[in-house]
Amino acid sequence: MALNCGIVGLPNVGKSTIFSALTSAKAEAANYPFCTIDPNVGVVAVPDPRLSRLSSMFKPKKTVPAIVEFVDIAGLVKGASTGEGLGNQFLSHIREVGMIAHVVRCFDDPDIIHVANRVDPADDIEVIHTELALADLDTVDKRVDKLQKQLKVQDPQVKKDTERELSALAKIRPALEVCKAARTVALEAEEAEAVRKSFLITMKKEIYVCNTDEAGVRSGNAHIEAVRACAAREGSEAVVICGKFEAELGDLGSEEEKREFLAELGLEESGLSSLIHAAYRLLGLRTFFTAGEDECRAWTIRAGDKAPQAAGVIHTDFEKGFIKAEIYSYDDIVQLGTEKAVREAGKLRQEGKDYVVHDGDVVFFKFNV
């Protein structure tokens, strides 16, 4: 399982600069709107010092981190929901991602054009939210028309499923009409599952990325506080990033140089690392490890996944033929020093199908197919 995250925002807010810093794949970046038309896609390793520590202990032939896929989507403008600025094309790209990283300009620079000729984060956020909600409203109306025809089907299960989805969409539509996100609507679990078929953009989790200057990273500013306030109202998070600084950090060769560079700004981790970790939290993702002489690897699961589901992330045969899992915690092997010592201390456990895998578990699956 990989986290798939779309980077969205108005033109010229720094999306492509941040994407380039994330992936070290230089996206086209220019001081004019719509320089990115086709979405750039980059795969980024999830920073996790635990994996590095396990690798130093086991000295495997290969170390494989968990990954995040970032998609750099062209800037949206007012009217995008009706096709303004190639909006329909861009909106279709957003529908395909798992969550949204909403980049907001939080710096003043007269040399960099703002599409509205002023820097106002709250207004910028409202423009994007309005366009996404209006696009979803159009989707809902088209979906309802299709479902109304489906009600004529005689199959009772199809009819029941159709009625459930129509009920959910009827609850969502009034929110979209006033440009509120579909995710703000209280739905029953079955309704929420049914509405996934509509692929609504505003059902996706959204995290805010404050793209600021170096002074903003050091001490903040009013623009950043405005974005944080918006995130807090929505139960989301805001991450502060200086796109230019992150690009310079990415160009450094060694990890030691990067740590020294961060220390100069009084930071423990880069803004991009903070973004990845915040996205993990919002999506309720967890990491478990497999470790041995051949490979040390980080795997991504959802909070609450049980051992067979975790095994299935490695290979579907592991889930189908699951017998049991041998598990110990990362903290235990760090404290005791070796896997042998973990066994001797009785810290290695045999767990069955009902075991909920925890973040930081080191797991060896036994299966039969």
Measuring CA to CA, which residue among 266, 149, 161 is closest to residue 214? 266
Specify the CATH number for the domain of residue 327.
3.10.20.30
Alpha helices in 37-182 (DSSP H): 49-58, 87-95, 121-150, 156-177
Contacts 24+ apart (CB under 8 A), 342-345: none
Task: Let me know whether 90 and 11 are in one domain.
Answer: yes
Task: Look at residues 161, 176, 202 and tell me which one is the last residue of a structural domain.
Answer: 202
150: left (phi over 0), alpha (psi -120 to 50) or beta: alpha
Specify the CATH number for the domain of residue 248.
3.40.50.300
One-letter amino acid of 216? G
Residue 78 is predicted with a pLDDT of 59
Task: Let me know whether 110 and 152 are in one domain.
Answer: no
The per-residue pLDDT string of the chain (369 residues; one tens digit each, 9 = 90 and over) reads: 557 888 888 888 888 788 877 776 443 333 333 333 345 777 888 889 999 999 999 999 999 998 888 888 766 555 544 544 434 455 676 777 889 999 999 998 888 777 777 889 999 999 989 988 988 998 999 999 999 988 877 788 888 889 999 999 999 999 999 999 999 999 999 999 999 988 899 999 999 999 998 889 888 999 999 999 999 999 899 999 987 788 778 777 677 888 888 887 777 788 888 888 888 888 889 999 999 999 999 999 999 999 999 999 999 999 999 999 999 999 999 999 999 999 999 999 999 999 999 999 999 999 987
Residue 221 lies in a domain: yes
Task: Look at residues 202, 234, 253 and tell me which one is the last residue of a structural domain.
Answer: 202
Residue 81 is predicted with a pLDDT of 47
One-letter amino acid of 157? Q
Residue 103 lies in a domain: yes
Task: Let me know whether 107 and 226 are in one domain.
Answer: yes
Residue 293 lies in a domain: no
Range of the domain at 187: 131-202
Specify the CATH number for the domain of residue 194.
1.10.150.300
Integer CA distances (angstroms), 196 to 108, 184, 189, 204, 295, in order: 39, 15, 11, 10, 36
Residue 26 is predicted with a pLDDT of 41
103 membership: H or E segment, kind and range: strand 99-105
One-letter amino acid of 296? C
Task: Let me know whether 197 and 215 are in one domain.
Answer: no
Task: Let me know whether 167 and 218 are in one domain.
Answer: no
Task: Let me know whether 87 and 227 are in one domain.
Answer: yes
Q: Find the angle CA(12)-CA(127)-CA(9) to the nearest 5 degrees.
A: 35
Residue 33 is predicted with a pLDDT of 35
Residue 10 is predicted with a pLDDT of 87
Residue 56 lies in a domain: no
Task: Let me know whether 152 and 249 are in one domain.
Answer: no
Please check whether residue 220 is in contact with residue 237, taking contact to mean a CB–CB distance below 8 angstroms: no
Task: Let me know whether 15 and 110 are in one domain.
Answer: yes
Strands (DSSP E) found in 156-256: 205-211, 238-241
Task: Look at residues 235, 250, 282 and tell me which one is the last residue of a structural domain.
Answer: 282
Residue 295 lies in a domain: no
Residue 31 is predicted with a pLDDT of 35
The DSSP 8-state label assigned to residue 151 in this structure reads T
Task: Let me know whether 106 and 215 are in one domain.
Answer: yes
Task: Let me know whether 216 and 247 are in one domain.
Answer: yes
Residue 68 is predicted with a pLDDT of 83
Please check whether residue 207 is in contact with residue 102, taking contact to mean a CB–CB distance below 8 angstroms: yes
Residue 290 lies in a domain: no
Number of domains comprising the chain:
3
Residue 242 lies in a domain: yes
Residue 361 lies in a domain: yes
Task: Let me know whether 195 and 228 are in one domain.
Answer: no
Task: Let me know whether 232 and 316 are in one domain.
Answer: no
